[in-house]
Each structure stands twice: as C-alpha cells, then as structure tokens.
Chain A
Amino acid sequence: MTATLAASPRSPARGYWIGFAVVVALLLIAPLVLPPFWQRFVTEILIWGLLAMSSDILIGYTGMVSFGHSAFFGLGMYGAAAALLTIKPPSLWLAILYGLVGAGAIAVFVAYFATRLRDIYFAISTLVFSQIFYVIIFTWTEVTGGENGLTFRQPALSILGWSDRFTPTTFHWFALAVVLVSYLLVRRITRSPFGMVLQSIRENEPRTRAIGYHVERYKIVAVMLSGLFAGLAGVLYAIQNKFAAPDFVFFVVSGEVVIFNVMGGMGTLVGPFAGAAFFLLLREGLSRFLTEYYLIPVGIIFIIMVIFLPQGLLGFLRRRLNA
C-alpha cells in the first residue's frame, strides 16, 4: 500500500487508489487462503482498526484525545445484544441499528462535555465516563448480565430478501464491506470543508474560533461521528463473537485504541488499521514466548515510538492523504 504511493509522484491520487485496490483485494481473498485462526485474526484486525479509525477522527483530525472509546465500543456491543436477545427472529440490521443508537446516545453525552472542556480535562473526563459506564454495566446484573455479560445467537446475514447463516468467510466479507464503506465515508468527510475545519481546530483552536467558526458545533459533530463508528465496530465484534462483556468497556480497550492510533499514525485514517495490525501481530508473536508479559516489550516499543516516532508508522503519509 505504501510502496506504490511513494513511487508515483506524478499522480499521487492514482497511486493511492492502486494501493487501496491491492489491499482490498488481499483482504478479499484472505479468508480463502488463510487457515482458520489467521482468518479470524484478519477479521479482528478489521474490527479493531475500525474502532481505532473512529478514534482517529478525534485524535488525529480534531486534536482531541479520548481515553473513553471503550464506552462507545461497549455500548455498540450491548446495543446489538439487546436487539439480538429481545427481537425474534434476531435481525442483523436491527442489531446494527440498536448498537448505533446506544453508542450515539453516549456520544451525545460526551459531545456535550467535549465542547466545555479542553485537552487534558477532556481526556480525563472521557476516561471517567467510560469507567462510569463500566461500573453501571458491571453492577446492573439484571439488565446487562453483570460480569458475565450476555450471550446470544448470531443473526443471519440477510440482504434484500436473501438470507443465510454466516460462515467465518462470509462474516469476514461482511465486516470488510462495513469497514470499507465506513472508511470511504469518513475519508470523504475528512477531506470535505468540514474536515478542513476540524484540522484547523487541531492546529489552532483560538484562531479558528476567531475566524468565525462555531468550534463547539464542529466538535460535537466530530464526537458523534467518532462515537457512531466506534459503536459500529462494537456491533461487528459482538456479532462475530456472540457475546457482550463488560471487559470491553473497561479502560484497557480505550488504552489499546490509543496505542493503535499512535503506533499506526494519527490523522491518516489508514494508520489506525496499520497500528492495530502491528500491535496484534506483535501480541500474537510475542505471547508465544512471553505469554501475558508480551506487554512489557510492546509497552516499551510504544514508549519509544511516542518519543522518537510520534508520527507513527504511516504518519509520513499524513500530508499526502489529506491534501
């Protein structure tokens, strides 16, 4: 993906699309050539990448660090669970709808605070909010299943009348389709005038305000968008794994999202996917030798990247991708 971009200065847009097509093609055939474990792995990279991309809207484009994306993700999961458990027969599209509504509701709440708080205070409050939701979900056992969470059956993939059960391969393609559509949508948005204003807010908020932009409104929309796509990732994860659990609302998930963003490259939209892949591969590789201690070297790598490579793996593409 990156090699072709660097090689064609004449028409960067064409290089980009070529690279893009190559990656999509690889992802399409992945489930057909990879063994089941790796097949699942690639699907998971897509889902986590989507979550990290949603966070990139805030961190990379608007300059707002969120430590609370696990809340949106978790609400997406539980929203989907709600649909799949209460409505018979379980409907894929309703699961998505409920998940988005759940995540969206939280996003509205967080968005309100986004506009009143700057930088560190916003970051801390997102952390606190996700913890509030964690506690509520963990202790409200009657509704959320408490620490055991909820399990449910996977809905069928039904499009325009045709319906069939998911197989790991068809789920992968479904997830890929969702992620592609999301990516293209977000890309369109960030390259639009709206997206330019967001970046301007990131660069110099007081100046953007002085020019006359209603910064609060832009931030609210940014948070909503971010929350919705994060919730969508949660829905996908819930459907893939057939459960919703409070662990995914816990801070650790938010932390990992931030790691994916930083490692992959903020403000690129594709960086988060690379970051997710990089982290998950490292985890996979290192945990064979180090079991759960893989986080020690990975954590150190993360710290080193923050200090010496803050733009992340794909950060050098930032200008090209957002021109």
Chain B
Amino acid sequence: MLVLDNVDAHYGKSHVLHGVSIEVRAGEVVGLLGRNGVGKTTTLKAIMGMARRTGGRITFEGRDLHGVPPHGLAGLGIAWVPEERRIFRLLTVLENLRTGLDRPGVTPARREELLEKVYAYFPILKERRNQAGGTLSGGEQQMLAIARAMVLEPKIILLDEPTEGLMPRMVAQIQEIVHALHREGVAILLVEQNVPLTLDAAGRVYIMEKGTVRHHASSAELRADQRVIHEYLGV
C-alpha cells in the first residue's frame, strides 16, 4: 500500500537518505529500527513531503505522492504522529481532536462516534477535554497525538517513537493501542528505539543505518537470531 522505492532525500544541503526502499502493506504493522540519527524520522518526513525528495518514488495505493500538497495526505488516509508529538499547545484537547474531526465528508453523528471511540481508548482525554494541550503531561500528550491521528480514520499511521520518554506503564498502554489499531486493520509504520516493543508489535522490521536500509526481516527471525539486533543497535 505504501511503497518507498529507492528514495533519496536531502535536508538543506545534506544528503540524508540514500536509496531507501520500504513497503507497508494494508493492515500491516512494520517496524523501522536504528540508532539515533540514522534517518528514521527523515524517512517519515520524506513520506509527509517535508524533506526534499531528490530521487526514487513514494507511492500510496499506487498513487505517486510527489504532486500531492502537504495538506492532502490526511485525505488520502495517511496520518502522522511526530516524534515531538506537536500538540497544538494553545488549543484545548477537544479542539486538538477537532482539527482531525472537522474534515469534509464526516457527518456530525460520525464525529460523535469517533470522539466517543477515542475517549474510550483514552479516558484521561475525556476528563481533560477542555484543558489546553500544553498543560498535559508527556504521556497524556502522546495519547492525544495518537487520538488525533485516529480520528482521521487513516489507512496508515506513521508513528514516530511513541514511547520515548514515557514511564513503563505508559509504554505498556502504547503497546496495547498499537495492537488495538492493528486489530482494526489500520496499517502502522512504527519508528522506534524500543526493540522488544517493536518486535512484539510488528510483523516485519527494517533496520536502518547511515541513511539507508541495511536489513529487513520478520520479527520472528530477529527474535530467533539476536546477533543482527546487536550489530545494528548495540543492544
């Protein structure tokens, strides 16, 4: 469904991605592992049209994303949960969700449904719905970021390091959410540094190093042979 074919990308003058090829099929959870700075986030940014793609193609459901304006991606079914979460700090929780709910083609009834659904997943958000996004804790902001992506009813979610800086209890909660989304049939491209979580959640994993994909295997294979993980991530 989402295919990166030999993608090169530049950030300003630096050449950060070299021939990256990744595929995420419908309903799949695919992991993207690698040390800090290898280009995992940049890969997601390239998909979102934020890094300058200088080579290769990125297609979604067969359609080349090249000509699609940045605000058109959500409509195609691609949702993004960035590394820094990027909650609209001065908007309330509810207003944050509304940026995704107020799409054309969504009936008021459906909006209510989606809202109730994310409140069911994240009761704390319902509690804090009239609070400004900036007043939420780190974990709560992460939940809001994910909820915001969910109300877009996406076909794929680009999840960038959702567990970074979170307490173990929250990490477990994130793990559950990923499982739940998978059960619903939402594809996920999961960028993470947390190896066990990734191997548990994802069926296949790509490992990146220095701006390119070095290894690609199923989680089962990687679990069986820990050496690969050691080699690329040093854990």
Report A-B touching, CB under 8 Å.
no
User: B residues bordering A, Cβ < 8 Å?
Assistant: none
A residues bordering B, Cβ < 8 Å? none
